[in-house]
Amino acid sequence: MKRFTLHRRAVLRGLAGTAVSLPLLEMMLDAAPARAAAQPAQRYLVTFGGLSTGNPSLIVPNTVGANYDVKRSLAPLATLNNVKNEVSVVSGLRLPQNGAGGWTGRWHSSSVGPLICGVSAPGSAAEGNPLGHGSPIAEGVTSDQVVADAIAGSTRFRSLELRAQPEVYRENDGTFGIISYRRDASTGQLQPNEPQASPRLAFDSMFTGFTSGGNPAMAAEREALLAQDKSILDLVRDRAQRLIGKLGSADRRRIERHFDEIRELEMRISEIPDLGAAGAGCMPFADPGQDDPVRTTQRGVVEGSIPRFLGYANEEKRARVMSDLLHMAFTCDLTRSATLAYTFAQCFIDTQALLGIQQTDVHELGHGAGSDEDVADAFAWHVEHFAYLVAKLRDTPEGAGSLLDNTVLVFMPEGGDDDGEPHSGENMLALIAGRAGGLRPGQHVATDGAHPARVLISAMNAAGVMTDELGEVTGNIPELFA
């Protein structure tokens, strides 16, 4: 019987984005206030990798249940003091053709939308699909935003969107690197949440104004700059407000979010919380320095491969920094819901730079430019970063246990495998880690064609959001809970 906590302010969000309050249950009245006071915040993270699962024999554990065997693609789970005990593997997932939360074509990255929001991707023949097939754009609110609405509380960042790979490198566009969509409260418009792909800016945004030692002169200078920034933003916001008042409704709809974001930035600058009060582990860490530059190579040496441009911007370091930032954001309760796209959908990262193998891109590996083992290693690169963060959360004390006890994290790769064909809706797989809300990690759950979004529903439940649906998909995966 799954156990989950009911937070007093948990609400359900219907598809239209309107809040539906939970019925006031006894559970919420008597015991809840006391429990809520003692109950630490839950944290929620969805990560994404722009590649397919590859040959099942190199990724799906043979064992079902606890103590699963770790294959090549998941090899990093066997490291870090056997972090696999904190991670469950969910296999046999499927994106249906023409079903709830499905897609009508197996065309490239149109799996992304249904994966993250449970709403079908419009196919090429569908009405109202101005971008035709192949678009990764989600047609509904993503789980991280549902969770943010429910549990953000008064955290500094209602949600955080980060991405390690900074540029798309080859074809496609920025939409291939967006995995978070919200619904605007006043207009009802579905909007993408562009992630921050600069570690420099992500760091600054998170730790602006925090002083942690340093000499008094530096602190004074920081104070002075902050005061300037505040005054500047005040003026910018004031002018923005006047301008928006003059705009017609269509123009206003297009840019009023900009005003909202300015106001939020101004609020963040004005109210610098005391980091020390958040707990022992909370402290700004070493400045990551300037972002590594984007390097694109213009070669495709592998026979039959497609690449025009391969890119690398030290995603290895970028992913590490973003993971550290998320760890600290959770530790300091700066946010409770986040997404981290390690790579763009249809990832064109240079495999020689990333993995030290022949020079092609990650996408092409799946199309025969690399061996099955190469594909597994590209997959493992993502898992390594996921495992790193899981281990860090596990090793961070919180309350009587660890931060991981109050966190749920998911890793969603873009595609599955159909007898060697990538970009498939078959044989999809996801990882779910953490012990929030009664999760019992460390298992291999072999589903029989469950929709991947059910892993997200499970994760949402674990974070305390009582819902049985995400988009058109219903039901969590009960085996994931104790």
Partner 1 sequence: MRPAGIVLLVCVAACSGTLRGTSDDGRVVDPATGLPGLPGQPANVPGAGTSGGLPPPGGAPGAVGVLGLGANGITRLSRAEYRSTVQALLGVDLGSDVELLPADSFTPFDNDYTLQTPSKALVDGLKALADRAVVAALADPAQRASLVGCSPSGPGDAVCLGDFIRRFGRRALRRPLDDAEVQAYQSFQSFATSSGDFYTAVSMVARAMLQDLEFIYRVELGGPIAGLPSAFRLNDFETASRLSFLLWGQNPDDALLDQAAAGKLRSDADVRAAAERMLGDERGKRRIERFHALWLGYDTLPHAPELNTAMRQETDALLRRVVFDQQRPWLELFSSGETWVNGPLAELYGMPAPRGADFAWVPYASAERRGLLSHGSLLSNGVRGTDTSPTRRGKFVSERLACTPIPPPPDDVNADEPPPAVSGQNCKVDRYQAHRVQPRCAGCHALMDGIGFGLENYDARGAYRQSDDGKPECMIDGTGELQGKGAFSGPAELASLLAGSGDLSSCLVQRLYQLGVGRDALPEDRPLLDALAMRGGGPGMQLRELVLAWVSSEGFRIRTVDER
Considering only residues 72-131, where is the footprint of partner 1 by CB under 8 A?
104-108, 123-125, 127-131
Asked if 416 contacts 425 with a C-beta cutoff of 8 angstroms, the reply is yes
Q: Which stretch binds partner 1 (CB under 8 A): 72-80, 253-261, 314-322, 334-342?
A: 253-261
Give the shortest CB-419-to-partner 1 separation in angstroms.
Answer: 12
In this structure, is the dihedral angle defined by the CA atoms of residues 101, 380, 53 and 291, taken in order, positive or negative? positive
104 or 476: CB nearest partner 1: 104
Give the shortest CB-229-to-partner 1 separation in angstroms.
Answer: 8
The strand pairing partners of 65, in sequence order, are 444
DSSP H or E run through 444: strand 443-446
72 or 230: CB nearest partner 1: 230
Per CB under 8 A, 55 contacts partner 1: no
Give the shortest CB-225-to-partner 1 separation in angstroms.
Answer: 9
Give the shortest CB-194-to-partner 1 separation in angstroms.
Answer: 4
**Among 114, 67, 49, CA closest to 376:** 49
> Residues 84, 133, 327, 451: which binds partner 1 (CB under 8 A)?
133
Centre a 10 Å sphere on the Cβ of residue 424 and count the other Cβ atoms it contains.
Answer: 19
**Among 228, 312, 239, CA closest to 270:** 228
Structure tokens given for 464: 């305390």
Give the shortest CB-328-to-partner 1 separation in angstroms.
Answer: 17
Largest CA distance in the chain: 68
Structure tokens given for 326: 């998320």
> Residues 60, 240, 322, 459: which binds partner 1 (CB under 8 A)?
240
234 or 395: CB nearest partner 1: 234
User: Tell me, what DSSP letter sits at residue 401?
Assistant: E
4 or 342: CB nearest partner 1: 342
Tell which positions 255-294 bind partner 1, by CB under 8 A: 255, 257-259, 261-262, 264-265, 293-294
Give the shortest CB-433-to-partner 1 separation in angstroms.
Answer: 26
Asked if 110 contacts 121 with a C-beta cutoff of 8 angstroms, the reply is yes
Phi, psi for residue 255 in degrees, rounded to 5: -125, 0
65 or 174: CB nearest partner 1: 174
Tell which positions 173-192 bind partner 1, by CB under 8 A: 173-175, 177, 191-192
Q: Which stretch binds partner 1 (CB under 8 A): 306-314, 326-334, 349-357, 445-453?
A: 306-314
Asked if 52 contacts 376 with a C-beta cutoff of 8 angstroms, the reply is no
Task: Name the residue with tokens 């020079």.
Answer: 359
> Residues 40, 210, 229, 395: which binds partner 1 (CB under 8 A)?
229
Q: Are strands 337-341 and 397-398 parallel, antiparallel or unpaired?
A: unpaired
Per CB under 8 A, 198 contacts partner 1: yes
Per CB under 8 A, 210 contacts partner 1: no
Q: What is the dihedral of CA 273, 391, 53, 315, to 10 degrees?
A: 60
Binning the chain into helix, strand and coil, the percentages to the nearest 5 are 40, 20, 45
Structure tokens given for 250: 């269509």
35 or 263: CB nearest partner 1: 263
76 or 422: CB nearest partner 1: 422
Tell which positions 423-482 bind partner 1, by CB under 8 A: 423
293 or 356: CB nearest partner 1: 293
Binding mask 344-383 for partner 1 (x = CB under 8 A): -----------------------x----------------
User: Tell me, what DSSP letter sits at residue 154?
Assistant: T
> Residues 2, 36, 204, 475: which binds partner 1 (CB under 8 A)?
204
> Residues 101, 114, 140, 166: which binds partner 1 (CB under 8 A)?
166
Asked if 359 contacts 297 with a C-beta cutoff of 8 angstroms, the reply is yes
133 or 444: CB nearest partner 1: 133
**Among 301, 382, 375, 374, CA closest to 343:** 382
Structure tokens given for 363: 């996408």
Per CB under 8 A, 54 contacts partner 1: no
Asked if 325 contacts 202 with a C-beta cutoff of 8 angstroms, the reply is yes
38 or 246: CB nearest partner 1: 246
Q: How far is CA 461 from CA 1, 408, 477, in A?
A: 13, 10, 10
* Beta strand ranges found along 35-193 (DSSP E): 43-52, 65-66, 87-93, 160-163, 181-183, 190-192
> Residues 272, 308, 359, 438: which binds partner 1 (CB under 8 A)?
308
Give the shortest CB-240-to-partner 1 separation in angstroms.
Answer: 5
Structure tokens given for 271: 């109210």
Tell which positions 388-427 bind partner 1, by CB under 8 A: 421, 423
Per CB under 8 A, 62 contacts partner 1: no
Centre a 10 Å sphere on the Cβ of residue 270 and count the other Cβ atoms it contains.
Answer: 13
Give the shortest CB-20-to-partner 1 separation in angstroms.
Answer: 26
